[in-house]
Structure 1
Amino acid sequence: MRVVIAGGHGKIALLLAEQLTERGDTAVALIRNPDHADEVRAAGAEPVQVDLEAVTADELAKDLTGADAVVFAAGAGPNSGAERKRTVDRDAALLVADAAARAGVRRYLQVSSMGAANPPSEAEDDSVWGAYLRAKGEAEQGVRDRDDLDVTILRPGVLTDGPATGRVRLAEEPVGHEEVTRADVAATLIALLEAPATVGRTLELINGTEPLGTAVDDLGGATGPSVHGDDGLPAS
């Protein structure tokens, strides 16, 4: 499986590249800064330099052609202002979706955020955090109902840097704004890629007690032993 990751130098993206590579898949990382290429290669991904705030959908489609799936894991980062929340967290997500459709890549996973379902209006909250939630919500809305993509949206809880546990709570209903490791988010993205029953669904994710494979199967997506080991982690 060839997977293109937008925001390829992010923490989740690097872990996703590592896990895909361990499975024998091919990861392609879209990065803005060429200085990040070596770190991306070390994670097992093929770096492709592209500025998602400057490229056109037609130009980007060339980098996506031949992929089996696209994962949007880009973000403006914690030190950015409200404008970049709009240009990266919203506009870049919509751009990548357009490019995927033009490249004929139907499977599209979007990493979003809890709170995106009901973001505050600008009048209620004009902070950068409010702008971030509005950008994520508008990005979700922009890709959710497309009929030229098979979309799954994942909203992780509070992100931590611990090792993968293989144990999660994954559901369409609210699961509580609790912690989840970035490694478990990456593993969940891989599981969702091979779970057709999750197409068209928006899912929330935190660490829990259920093995990841079982949690995905409970959504109607039989994942099989090629995706998960006995401990719920991706099989290597």
Structure 2
Amino acid sequence: MTRIAIVGGHGKVARHLVRDLRAAGHEPVALVRRETYRDELEALGAEVRLLDIEAQDADGFAAAFEGCSAVVFAAGAGPDGKVERKRTVDLEGSLKSIEGARRAGISRFVQVSASGMDEPVPADASEVWRAYVEAKRDADVALRASDLDWTIIRPGVLTDEPATGLVALAPTLPKADVPRADVAAVLAAVLDAPRSIRQQWDLMGGDTPIAEAVATA
């Protein structure tokens, strides 16, 4: 059994991931900023540790990762809300996770991004959307430039539909819907797939079983 740290451990994808990692024989470690999430996450099978993404520095992240063999960065302020939190959560949270992993001696790092983040932002885009794209893009750039064994998964439009177990996975794909449950299943699968190291893949709903998609992307 290996411990997998999940930054943003109370998010919708993260909660699915906790179940999937537990089913695969791993010990998920959900990193959250609120103690009130503990009972819910422990009931799903996670170890819970407190981590305030915005307030703590890289050393705090490294301490939260103690004893883990991989990190999944699944945190995000979302495409709505305040401009400032796109920087402090989506970008700086990722940067501190990357550095925290290095300081903790962890090489395996999987990041949840979003499709289309390398495309030009339309001139009429809102300030919040522009900040979101720039934060996700720069976080991916930083991870690709690191010496970690990284994988970047870029889902399309997230839904709360039931898992299908069928996806499309490739370096670039037309944007489409994908259930959060299937995103989590792909994250769990790539953690155990050495061929996914240093790969960046778009993830959409599709017709290929997840294990096959990860093996052939």
TM-score category of the 2 structures, normalised to the smaller one: over 0.9
Task: Report if aligned partners of 2:83, 2:128 keep a CA contact under 8 Å in 1.
Answer: yes
- The AA in structure 1 aligned to 2:152 is I
- The AA in structure 1 aligned to 2:167 is V
CA distance in structure 1 between the aligned counterparts of 2:62 and 2:87, rounded to whole angstroms: 21
5+ residue gaps, structure 2, are none
5+ residue gaps, structure 1, are 220-236
- Once the two structures are superposed, residues 185-224 of structure 1 have per-residue CA deviations (whole angstroms, 9 ceiling, x without a partner) of 00100111111111111100011111111111113xxxxx
Percent identity of paired positions between Structure 1 and Structure 2: 47
Match of 1:231 in 2: none
Deviation at 1:79, TM superposition (A): 4.8
Q: Does 1:182 align with 2:183?
A: no
Instruction: Identify the range of structure 1 (78-87 vs 43-52) with the bigger mean alpha-carbon deviation.
Output: 78-87
Deviation at 1:170, TM superposition (A): 0.2
Match of 2:130 in 1: 130
Where do residues 73-112 of structure 1 align in structure 2 (5 Å cutoff)? 73-77=74-78, 79-112=80-113
Where do residues 19-58 of structure 1 align in structure 2 (5 Å cutoff)? 19-58=20-59
Cα RMSD (Å) of the superposition?
Answer: 1.4
- The AA in structure 2 aligned to 1:196 is P
Deviation at 1:57, TM superposition (A): 0.8
- Once the two structures are superposed, residues 128-150 of structure 1 have per-residue CA deviations (whole angstroms, 9 ceiling, x without a partner) of 11211111001001111111x10
- The AA in structure 2 aligned to 1:183 is A
With structure 1 as the length reference, what TM-score do the two structures score?
0.87
- The AA in structure 2 aligned to 1:154 is I
- The AA in structure 1 aligned to 2:169 is L
Would you say how many aligned residue pairs link Structure 1 and Structure 2? 216
CA distance in structure 1 between the aligned counterparts of 2:144 and 2:120, rounded to whole angstroms: 16
Task: Report if aligned partners of 1:109, 1:154 keep a CA contact under 8 Å in 2.
Answer: yes
Task: Report if aligned partners of 1:119, 1:134 keep a CA contact under 8 Å in 2.
Answer: no
Task: Report if aligned partners of 1:66, 1:105 keep a CA contact under 8 Å in 2.
Answer: no
CA distance in structure 2 between the aligned counterparts of 1:82 and 1:119, rounded to whole angstroms: 18
Match of 1:83, SS?
A: helix
Match of 1:166 in 2: 165
With structure 2 as the length reference, what TM-score do the two structures score?
0.95
- The AA in structure 1 aligned to 2:112 is V
Deviation at 1:33, TM superposition (A): 1.6
Task: Report if aligned partners of 1:170, 1:203 keep a CA contact under 8 Å in 2.
Answer: yes
Runs of 4+ in 1 over 4 A off after TM superposition: none
CA distance in structure 1 between the aligned counterparts of 2:201 and 2:69, rounded to whole angstroms: 21
Task: Report if aligned partners of 2:79, 2:128 keep a CA contact under 8 Å in 1.
Answer: no
Deviation at 1:116, TM superposition (A): 1.1
Task: Report if aligned partners of 1:65, 1:104 keep a CA contact under 8 Å in 2.
Answer: no
CA distance in structure 2 between the aligned counterparts of 1:78 and 1:30, rounded to whole angstroms: 21
Where do residues 143-222 of structure 1 align in structure 2 (5 Å cutoff)? 143-147=143-147, 149-172=148-171, 174-219=172-217
